Chains A and B, each alone.
Chain A
Amino acid sequence: MTLLSLDHLTVQIGNLAILRDVSLKLARGEILGLVGESGSGKSMSALAVMGLLPDRARISGDIILGGVNLRHRSERQMCQLRGNDISMIFQEPMSALNPMMSIGDQVAETLMLHRKMPRSEARAIAREKLDRVGLRAPRFPLSLYPHELSGGQRQRVAIAMAIALHPKLLIADEPTTALDVTTQAEVLDLLRDLAREEGMALILITHDLAVVAGMADRVAVMQAGQIVETASTEPLFRTPRALYTQALLAASTHQPPPARRASAKPLLQVENATRTYPLPRPSAFAPHPELRAVDDVSFTIHAGESLGLVGESGCGKSTLTRAILGLDALQGGAIHLDGHPISPAIPSAQRANMQIVFQDPYGSFNPRQRVERLICEPFHLTGRPTDWRDRVAEALREVGLSPDDKTRFIHEFSGGQRQRIAIARALIIRPKLIVLDEAVSALDVQVRAQVLDLLSHLQATHDLAYLFISHDLSVVRAVTSRCLVMQAGKIVEEGPTEALFTAPQNPYTQSLIAATPRIPQHWKEPA
């Protein structure tokens, strides 16, 4: 029985068509995966159902929920519907909750609003709902505030809020994208269980095909505001009909050409590196306890090698990276690059041997400088050579952009292009080591595949070593030859990537790999 149907839904903002002729059906209790790259219209479709499109949006077509056309509903009626019949949770658990309101009150608010129940009664039900999503009573009192919870826990609060009134439809917009793999697996399990138990239909919006493979009954693929293919999950993965679906699938399992064998020459040597932070005193005169953010870590990167470093947020990856880059001093142990010790006091010429590419292609550039100036920035370490303009042009060509792009500003580029510019900036002083800190995590699968190919090509031509830091195990698996697993400041497992992924020894590594969503192997061969 159909719960929701979108019928030739078209949305325009200004002259820009956001959604074009989108038609979709969803049965009661069904889980629909809505996949596509950023800007394909997934979130806009969801907001259209919620009636929360931006004010300027012009909409045509029908949205029918349980036999009622939502297009003809007034804003007041939509308010009664939202949180009651349809609920929605969002991508950013860190900012999706009101920081000034306790979690109990935030869950209770939905109940008080729609059921007009007194606060005490609403809080009692809020307690039940929080228990249901795994935030159980004595540890998680209603009086907690969002900042006292982790990302995964906050997402659970958002889910508790959304399911408080047994909605018929829950829309989850990238609910686990910002979470670690093990947390992601838990939250996805919770959503699946809730949908099954409460007979609630679920629209799961994601860019990650592997996530829908394990969750959805049916999948709709969106591209540029249109639905290009809808099918039951397994057939869609086995025999994708639309070209775009095929391209997406290929990109998500893309494997760049393998690196040449690394030389035996050690480039970066980390020996017993330890980095501690003082924690606040427990009482006025007690000594500061220490947090060992990086705890006795040792490893080596050889010239021309790709080393992966995986671990969940808070495991010490970033702290270790800062020490390797010579930004922070170590409290114990030593780091050598090419035989020279690394510390915050190293001479600029040695800093020039390593560069970094960050995750956020939007925040890591000065928006008021032209590309030319952005790219030649590392020259302040070595002094600008006389042929610097040629070097900029060459760097741009190497990353697949045009030398003419040098006079443009960063906002004129897409996310993937910006990441290429970041790579050009790292390349220009010809470093021996590039640290890639979640460098492809923010990119869509197709762009990601291209950037990974580019990195592999550059490695071969420049004999670069990469330290590839990521929480995304599938990417690390695809591009590195050796891999470290970090947990609570320590390296818990190290080995050749393929061996480590197929036969992990450490229980933590095993849990990480088990939690990683994947497309079942046998779906990859047509039935």
Chain B
Amino acid sequence: MTVRERQRTLPVMRRYLFRRLIILLASLWVASGVIFLLVEGVPGDPASFMLGVNAAPDTLAALRAQMGLDQPFVWRYLHWLGGMLSGDFGTSFTYKTPVAGLIAARLAVSLPLAGIALFLSVALAVPMGLLAAARRGKVSDGAVMAGTQLGIAVPNFWFAMLLVLLLAVRWHWFPAGGFPGWSDPLMALRALTLPAIALALPQAAILTRVLRSALIETLGQDYIRTARAKGLSRARALTRHALRNALIPVLTILGLQFSFLLAGAIIIENVFYLPGLGRLIFQAITQRDLIVVESVVMVLVFAVIMVNFLTDLAYAAVDPRLRRRT
């Protein structure tokens, strides 16, 4: 790109980013309001839950005052919002520790787990999708389609148990569960490998199918015929021209999958006994630890919105037409 050309695209890019950023902040703000309203509106008083049914009224009142529950609703919301903006998520009722630290510790498990699972699912899906699309209607395509059908139908915890039985119990290649912490990164990665595979398999199956159908649609386009008329072989036309054009639906699915992997890993975390976000929020809900629930949900919402933002950026990076639209 020459300097002049870069000058031509930059303001447009900047405006695109700016708009996406405004939308991102607005969504976060709206989400915080909705979350607070829902969680605080749920019946069940955390103070009386903590003290049990036989608590004396004045003890209860004291605890409510200590937890700030006697304050007006709006004030509590603003207090919570202001705290979050300065990095203070409040103190957990049950763990009696700052929520921020709690979430950070859990994210150190959940985020790498989701990342590895996503990476694995892409690494599996791209070659399989390419193969199936290139050899549509042939035996290999049939095999991929049958395999992915199975991958979608079988729940991931079942894969998880299978993996544990084979790779952990029988062959001892990986630990069967637990998480040793990041002090030894190699051990940590080993602990995350099986859960990541279990999470990735169904996602890879979905992604393969999306990629295959997107590729097949792209292969019918006129520009593929043009590429073939230029002398590109089938395989080259597929990888050089079809793949990039088929990426948009794949990116959409990837964005959705990442959010799912981050929050939806509760069962897998339970199977492998991992201290992740999913288990944290599950426990917090059962114990009416409202502040933790709110904060974790807020973090998840933040992650989902960030992923959407990144997906939007990725669209623009892939498709030159989107860079000019706004």
Tell me the A residues contacting B by CB distance below 8 Å.
50, 52, 75-76, 79-84, 87-88, 90, 92, 95-102, 109-110, 113-114, 141, 143, 145, 147-148, 158, 161-162
Q: Is B52 an interface residue (CB 8 A)?
A: no
Residues from chain B with Cβ under 8 Å of A83 in the complex: 229-231
Interface residue count on the B side (C-beta < 8 Å): 26
In the complex the two chains form, is A87's CB within 8 Å of B229's CB? yes
4 smallest beta-carbon distances between A and B, as pairs = A83-B231, A83-B230, A82-B231, A95-B222
Q: Report B217-249 CB contacts with A as 1/0, cut-off 8 Å.
A: 000011101111111110010001100110000
Tell me the B residues contacting A by CB distance below 8 Å.
1-2, 4-5, 221-223, 225-233, 236, 240-241, 244-245, 318-321, 324
Residues from chain B with Cβ under 8 Å of A114 in the complex: 231
In the complex the two chains form, is B228's CB within 8 Å of A98's CB? no
Least CB distance from B318 to A in Å reads 7
Residues from chain A with Cβ under 8 Å of B319 in the complex: 99-100
In the complex the two chains form, is B229's CB within 8 Å of A88's CB? yes
In the complex the two chains form, is B245's CB within 8 Å of A52's CB? no
Nearest neighbor of B242 in chain A, beta-carbon distance: A98
In the complex the two chains form, is B228's CB within 8 Å of A100's CB? no
Please judge, given known A-B contacts A143-B5, A147-B321, whether A101 and B228 are in contact too, CB under 8 Å.
no
Please judge, given known A-B contacts A100-B244, A100-B319, A145-B320, whether A95 and B229 are in contact too, CB under 8 Å.
no
Least CB distance from B162 to A in Å reads 39
Cross-chain pairs A/B with CB under 8 angstroms, 15 sampled: A80-B231, A81-B231, A82-B228, A82-B229, A83-B229, A87-B229, A90-B225, A97-B223, A99-B245, A100-B244, A100-B320, A113-B230, A113-B231, A143-B1, A143-B5
Residues from chain B with Cβ under 8 Å of A101 in the complex: 241, 244
Select one of B1, B227, B231, B236 contacting A98, CB under 8 A. Answer: B227
In the complex the two chains form, is B5's CB within 8 Å of A98's CB? no
In the complex the two chains form, is B226's CB within 8 Å of A52's CB? no
Residues from chain B with Cβ under 8 Å of A96 in the complex: 222-223, 225-226
Q: In the complex the two chains form, what is the Cα distance from A90 to B233 in whole Å?
A: 18
Q: In the complex the two chains form, what is the Cα distance from A90 to B223 in whole Å?
A: 10
Q: In the complex the two chains form, what is the Cα distance from A92 to B320 in whole Å?
A: 20
Select one of B233, B318, B320 contacting A75, CB under 8 A. Answer: B233
In the complex the two chains form, is B230's CB within 8 Å of A109's CB? yes
Residues from chain B with Cβ under 8 Å of A161 in the complex: 226, 230
Residues from chain A with Cβ under 8 Å of B244 in the complex: 100-101
Residues from chain B with Cβ under 8 Å of A92 in the complex: 222
Residues from chain B with Cβ under 8 Å of A80 in the complex: 231
In the complex the two chains form, is B230's CB within 8 Å of A82's CB? yes
In the complex the two chains form, is A79's CB within 8 Å of B233's CB? yes
In the complex the two chains form, is A76's CB within 8 Å of B229's CB? no
Residues from chain B with Cβ under 8 Å of A143 in the complex: 1-2, 5
Main secondary structure on B side of the interface with A: helix
Give the most central of B223, B225, B231, B233: most A CB within 10 Å. B231
In the complex the two chains form, is B228's CB within 8 Å of A99's CB? no
In the complex the two chains form, is A52's CB within 8 Å of B225's CB? yes
Residues from chain A with Cβ under 8 Å of B229 in the complex: 50, 52, 82-83, 87-88, 90, 162
Nearest neighbor of B228 in chain A, beta-carbon distance: A52
In the complex the two chains form, is B230's CB within 8 Å of A141's CB? no
Nearest neighbor of A50 in chain B, beta-carbon distance: B229
Please judge, given known A-B contacts A82-B230, A82-B231, whether A100 and B225 are in contact too, CB under 8 Å.
no
Q: In the complex the two chains form, what is the Cα distance from A76 to B233 in whole Å?
A: 7
Q: In the complex the two chains form, what is the Cα distance from A525 to B2 in whole Å?
A: 59
Q: In the complex the two chains form, what is the Cα distance from A497 to B217 in whole Å?
A: 46
Residues from chain B with Cβ under 8 Å of A95 in the complex: 221-223
Q: In the complex the two chains form, what is the Cα distance from A97 to B226 in whole Å?
A: 7
Residues from chain A with Cβ under 8 Å of B2 in the complex: 141, 143
Least CB distance from B228 to A in Å reads 6
Please judge, given known A-B contacts A95-B221, A98-B241, A147-B321, whether A110 and B230 are in contact too, CB under 8 Å.
yes
Residues from chain B with Cβ under 8 Å of A50 in the complex: 229
Residues from chain B with Cβ under 8 Å of A100 in the complex: 244-245, 318-320
In the complex the two chains form, is A99's CB within 8 Å of B230's CB? no
Q: In the complex the two chains form, what is the Cα distance from A456 to B324 in whole Å?
A: 47
Give the most central of B222, B223, B244: most A CB within 10 Å. B223
Residues from chain A with Cβ under 8 Å of B321 in the complex: 99, 145, 147
Given contacts A92-B222, A99-B245, 9 further A-B contacts (CB under 8 A): A90-B222, A90-B229, A95-B221, A99-B319, A101-B241, A109-B232, A113-B236, A161-B230, A162-B229
Least CB distance from A497 to B in Å reads 36
Q: In the complex the two chains form, what is the Cα distance from A98 to B225 in whole Å?
A: 10
Please judge, given known A-B contacts A97-B226, A145-B321, A147-B320, whether A79 and B5 are in contact too, CB under 8 Å.
no
Q: In the complex the two chains form, what is the Cα distance from A117 to B236 in whole Å?
A: 17
Nearest neighbor of A99 in chain B, beta-carbon distance: B321
Q: In the complex the two chains form, what is the Cα distance from A141 to B320 in whole Å?
A: 15
Please judge, given known A-B contacts A99-B245, A147-B321, whether A84 and B231 are in contact too, CB under 8 Å.
yes
In the complex the two chains form, is A98's CB within 8 Å of B230's CB? no
Residues from chain A with Cβ under 8 Å of B240 in the complex: 109
Least CB distance from A50 to B in Å reads 6
Least CB distance from B231 to A in Å reads 4
In the complex the two chains form, is A99's CB within 8 Å of B223's CB? yes
Residues from chain A with Cβ under 8 Å of B232 in the complex: 79, 109, 113
In the complex the two chains form, is B223's CB within 8 Å of A110's CB? no
In the complex the two chains form, is A98's CB within 8 Å of B245's CB? yes
Q: In the complex the two chains form, what is the Cα distance from A95 to B240 in whole Å?
A: 16
Residues from chain B with Cβ under 8 Å of A145 in the complex: 320-321
Q: In the complex the two chains form, what is the Cα distance from A308 to B324 in whole Å?
A: 37
Residues from chain A with Cβ under 8 Å of B320 in the complex: 99-100, 102, 145, 147
In the complex the two chains form, is B226's CB within 8 Å of A90's CB? yes
In the complex the two chains form, is B223's CB within 8 Å of A98's CB? yes
Nearest neighbor of B248 in chain A, beta-carbon distance: A100
In the complex the two chains form, is B233's CB within 8 Å of A158's CB? no
Q: In the complex the two chains form, what is the Cα distance from A114 to B1 in whole Å?
A: 25
Residues from chain B with Cβ under 8 Å of A147 in the complex: 320-321, 324
Nearest neighbor of A100 in chain B, beta-carbon distance: B244
Least CB distance from B270 to A in Å reads 43
Q: In the complex the two chains form, what is the Cα distance from A87 to B228 in whole Å?
A: 10
Residues from chain A with Cβ under 8 Å of B227 in the complex: 98, 109
Residues from chain B with Cβ under 8 Å of A158 in the complex: 226
Least CB distance from A487 to B in Å reads 26
Residues from chain B with Cβ under 8 Å of A87 in the complex: 229-230
Least CB distance from A439 to B in Å reads 25
Please judge, given known A-B contacts A99-B245, A100-B318, A143-B1, whether A79 and B222 are in contact too, CB under 8 Å.
no
Residues from chain B with Cβ under 8 Å of A141 in the complex: 2, 4-5
Residues from chain B with Cβ under 8 Å of A102 in the complex: 320
Q: In the complex the two chains form, what is the Cα distance from A152 to B143 in whole Å?
A: 45
Q: In the complex the two chains form, what is the Cα distance from A109 to B236 in whole Å?
A: 11
Q: In the complex the two chains form, what is the Cα distance from A113 to B241 in whole Å?
A: 14
Least CB distance from B142 to A in Å reads 17
